[in-house]
Amino acid sequence: MEQRAEERRAAREAAKQLEKDREERRRLTLLPQPVAQLSVNMGGDGGPVNLTVYEGDDFEAVVSRFVAQYGVSQADKEVLRRELRARVVQTDTLVAGLPLVMPDGTTQYVAVMHGEQVQAKVDAFVELWGLTEEMAAKILEALQARVQARP
């Protein structure tokens, strides 16, 4: 009897750890991604400083903050703006997307971009949200239908 209680406690701890790991993966997945980065040599002993624009950032505001923080001249501001714009990462074309209401009531979006594999996207999404195999099959079927329906 004591062994069964220990097994149940171990199972509860494992389930808690699994949910904690999933929550961390969700948090990291939902973080804004960089869309442009520029390493700027400020001279002196400080070494280079990274100027980064993330998804959702106001490009001009990020450059202006950087210029104000590091005392960059207006002429150099234009150079920074031009160099940073040249480094903007172009996102791939959306092939198909599927909004889904999750067990916690939130709506999440599974998106397949050009060059991505539908099965891999669904597998990662299902694992991230801890969904069942039955749900995975339905999501895969619906997403594949949307991909095939594209002109």
The domain that contains 61 carries what CATH number?
Answer: 3.10.20
Residue 135 resides in a domain = yes
Domain limits at 142?
Answer: 92-148
Q: Which two tokens stand for residue 9?
A: 């406690």
Torsion angle of the four alpha carbons 20, 116, 38, 25, in this order, in degrees rounded to the nearest 10: 0
Residue 46 resides in a domain = yes
Same domain, 44 and 78: yes
Same domain, 40 and 79: yes
Q: What is the pLDDT of residues 29-60, one digit of tens each?
A: 666 777 888 998 887 777 888 999 887 788 89
Residue 99 resides in a domain = yes
Same domain, 79 and 107: no
Q: What is the pLDDT of residues 76-96, one digit of tens each?
A: 999 999 998 888 866 567 788
Same domain, 80 and 113: no
Residue 104 resides in a domain = yes
Q: What is the pLDDT of residue 145?
A: 92
Residue 90, amino acid:
Q
Give the Cα separation of 84 and 54 in Å (integer): 12
Tally of domains within the chain: 2
| pTM, entire model | 0.47
